[in-house]
Amino acid sequence: MMNFRNTHRSLLMLGLGLVVAACGDTETTTAPGATIRPELGKPAPDFTLRDQNGSDVKLSQFKGKVVVLDFWATWCAPCIASIPEFKDLWEKYRDDDFILLSISADIGEKEWRDFIKAENMDWLHVFDPGEKTGPLEVYAIQYIPDTWIIDKNGIAISHGLRHGELDAAVQQALR
């Protein structure tokens, strides 16, 4: 797994948390737009991003399908090593009620598009420009690669699975 952008922000938030704790304030509040990791068994947070063809993609449009959210980047060696696994997963379930949605943490949109095309990654991809309302923030992604599985009802049912565990969880969710 690789740590990626926002390290400075994380350190700042840690420092701020320590200052608040040192002041004796025990009440916690959530500011609008604050990052809250989704909970398993709860509705998956919705988002809208542009796909590799420039069309808007909204997570909630896939209700009725099992969705794997794959958080990755072209510069991430473990992510690149996982491409064959995702190709196999897509080929195995593409004709079922299944969506593989890869969410890029890349900085360069052109490089991302070129990479997807060169690697023949023919499933759905979106580019997260790093905004507060984007899935990298909403899903509190700290390391990549990372995955979430969303069931047919839009509920987050699994997190962080790879390899055979991911395939087995998708198979179970499709039943």
- pLDDT of amino acid 36: 57
Q: What are phi and psi of 140, to 5 degrees?
A: 50, 45
Task: Provide the H-helix boundaries in 60-150.
Answer: 77-81, 83-93, 109-118, 135-138
**Per-residue pLDDT in tens (0 to 9) along the chain, 175 residues:** 544 444 333 332 333 233 223 333 322 233 344 455 789 999 999 999 999 999 999 999 999 999 999 999 999 999 999 999 999 999 999 999 999 999 999 999 999 999 999 999 999 999 999 888 789 999 999 999 999 999 999 999 999 999 889 999 999 999 9
Strands 124-127 and 98-104: parallel
- pLDDT of amino acid 20: 27
Residue ranges of E strands in the chain? 2-3, 48-50, 56-58, 66-72, 98-104, 124-127, 143-144, 146-150, 156-159
